[in-house]
Amino acid sequence: MSIETLKEDARRHEQNEEWGKALVQYGLAIAKLAEEEQPDIGLYNRVGDLYVRVGNLAAAVHHYEQSTRFTVAYEEPSGDEAADFAKMLSQFKYKVSESIDSDDVQTHHDLGTAYKEMGLLDEAISEFQAALRAALDHLPTHELLGTTFLEMGQPEATVNALERAVEVEYDIEDELLGIYYYLARAHQDMGNSERALELYEKVFSLDINFADVTDRLRDLR
């Protein structure tokens, strides 16, 4: 299988959010490039970003070092897994702040997603906000910022975040399905049943199978 085919397969797996399969294909591509002595710095960065997304900071750092994006000094594990992780995370965040451009929307978005999946919600919010400062029209980041505030039990902040997203220009309204749904969830949590019902009905009109919208409509009617 050619290197380009491996990379195309990896990108397809990424689009389907099949991170493990994407990493395998990218790994095979990197191995083939190494055999041909044709290192691809951008590919190492991409694999590093994917490892961040799945929460494997050690593997991410290793691949970033190969691309020279940044290096983190190696230290022997102390035996305290929590402490070792905290130290690695601290070094990682410091290097990220030094190495990633402020207008690198996708990397800030991916970092925020990884932090969110790792339960580091404050860090996730910081990265999502950085991404939106670079590109206010990036709807996926708006949605994740809103859902992170919701996960933190802050429906008012969720409303503030997602109302800004509704103002963004879009090609088809389906792109706002998640925005409408989580905005409705936030209003429901705040006791604004009328507004929540209005938004759930909008979601239902676009996709009756979206999440649990049918059940939530039934509860509010």
Its pTM stands at: 0.69
Give the domain extent around 217. 100-221
Give residue for tokens 């580091």.
Answer: 120
Rounded to an integer, what distance in angstroms lies between the CA atom of residue 202 and that of residue 218?
A: 14
Strands (E), the chain: none
pLDDT in tens, the chain (221 residues): 788 898 899 899 888 889 889 989 888 888 888 887 776 777 887 888 788 778 787 777 777 767 655 555 656 667 777 777 777 777 777 766 666 788 888 888 878 887 887 788 998 999 999 999 999 889 999 999 999 999 999 999 999 999 998 887 777 778 899 999 999 999 999 999 999 999 999 999 999 999 999 999 999 98
* Rounded distance between C-alpha atoms, residue 88 and residue 208, angstroms: 44
Q: Which three-class secondary structure state does DSSP give residue 40?
A: coil
Q: Are 23 and 47 in contact (CB under 8 A)?
A: yes
Residues 68 and 135 placed together within one structural domain of the fold: no
Both tokens of 102, joined, read 């402020």
Three-class SS of residue 26? Answer: helix
- Residues 133, 195 share a domain: yes
Q: Are residues 165 and 206 in the same domain?
A: yes
Q: Which whole-number Å values give the CA distances from 56 to 65, 115, 143, in the listed order?
A: 14, 11, 24
Provide the residue type at 21 as one letter.
K
- Per the structure, how many domains does the chain have? 2
